[in-house]
Structure 1
């Protein structure tokens, strides 16, 4: 061993464990393994998208969607420890670690599908899809492509969990179904009722949350995206807008 060996004076390592959030085993000989591995990771990439959209659009709807996805992950974590279903191929490398019932990736995909379909169906009530003629037709086609693409993506994510040997078909179906139910209920509570029944308790709660959210202003105290003002300035600007409307 050379005197320049960097391992010569290092202390022994403690037992280490893989951070399994992005750790996936795959068959390098199968041509679809890499694409399906990336698809399997795509629900995790969603949170990066949510964070980016929150910075540059400052939309409360995105904040609530991200919150719902986090809550859906917590629900999946609880269901895994309640049902305690084993993964297939237990003990086969690191595929066999942790519980497998339900599939959390499939549940995340199902959540977004239910939420996304609800969003498309309520676009007209948001004032973003009332145009007729050619423009209305283009938007209907675009929304249809969006929904079909979202469904196909979610099914591909589910298939990837089976192809990569992380879940059984039943675990995937249970996870996807749980995500659909959770996403649908969450959308109904946070979007549908506040839109169509703004004077309801849920509608009033959303208004208060929106006021607080807008008052925070831009990220880091700077005006970013659609935010007006920085930390604390947002409330002052909102108050100024209210006074200007009253004087008109």
Structure 2
């Protein structure tokens, strides 16, 4: 992340040799106006999509859950669709005096599209896939995290406009496309891919990779908690029994 006083996307080096063109490579590079605290905060929000993708990768490595893998696959396909749309529409980003960019086109906003895809898929997953309790009070956390997800997506979208990476029309288009793709991908996973999860998990390759299918488990977090606690107590009793002999 850098402020607006940084060098441009291409800069010449004054030396005896021919001018050298420099180009940024970091995917986490975000510019904000120097001395602007709001811009500084929004620049960090603007990097949430990168953090999100890294978090999914880490979660998959440690949990090997097929639903999580499908979620990440949808996010990656969403990025492919965004790249295709940008190169079909070919709408330029807003102009400013200085700007370091990785893609020339801005319609639709990839950050906004990814965040609204993630938020839409997450809401559907929480309310359809996760076990429903008998009383709505026990499910109030679902409303909280769903609202938080969309608020975060809105802040990320606003940050792209505030930092002059996109126009309002570009982020609005990204939000609409993201929500449509998020809902469509959830339907694909729920209706098309999920029936194959038991086959994938029980396949020799799936067993070797320790892939998990949690489709039939109503409350995964509670199941993992109780299973871990039960196994821990069982092993503790065995250790105590051996010491007493």
Is 1:110 aligned to 2:116, yes or no?
Answer: yes
Output one character per residue of 1:10-40: Cα deviation in whole Å (capped at 9) or x when no partner.
Answer: x999633112521111112222112111111
Distance in 1 between residues matched to 2:61 and 2:26, nearest whole Å:
28
Distance in 2 between residues matched to 1:56 and 1:12, nearest whole Å:
50
C-alpha spacing 1:12/1:92, structure 2 compared with 1 (3 Å): closer
Partner of 1:57: 63
Is 1:169 aligned to 2:181, yes or no?
Answer: no
Structure 2 counterpart of 1:68, from 74, 83, 87: 74
Distance in 1 between residues matched to 2:172 and 2:18, nearest whole Å:
45
Structure 2's unaligned 5+ residue stretches are 1-16, 212-223, 225-245
Structure 1's unaligned 5+ residue stretches are 1-10, 195-201, 220-225, 227-248
**Which structure 1 residue ranges, 4+ long, deviate > 6 Å from structure 2?**
none
Distance in 1 between residues matched to 2:173 and 2:68, nearest whole Å:
26
Partner of 2:43: 37
Structure 1 counterpart of 2:34, from 12, 28, 31: 28
Distance in 2 between residues matched to 1:175 and 1:29, nearest whole Å:
29
Structure 2 counterpart of 1:77, from 78, 83, 88: 83
- Over the aligned positions, Cα root-mean-square deviation in angstroms equals 2.6
Partner of 1:137: 137
Q: TM-score, normalised by structure 1?
A: 0.71
Distance in 2 between residues matched to 1:45 and 1:108, nearest whole Å:
12
Partner of 2:98: 92
Distance in 2 between residues matched to 1:93 and 1:47, nearest whole Å:
25
Structure 2 counterpart of 1:208, from 199, 205, 222: 199
Aligned residues: 195
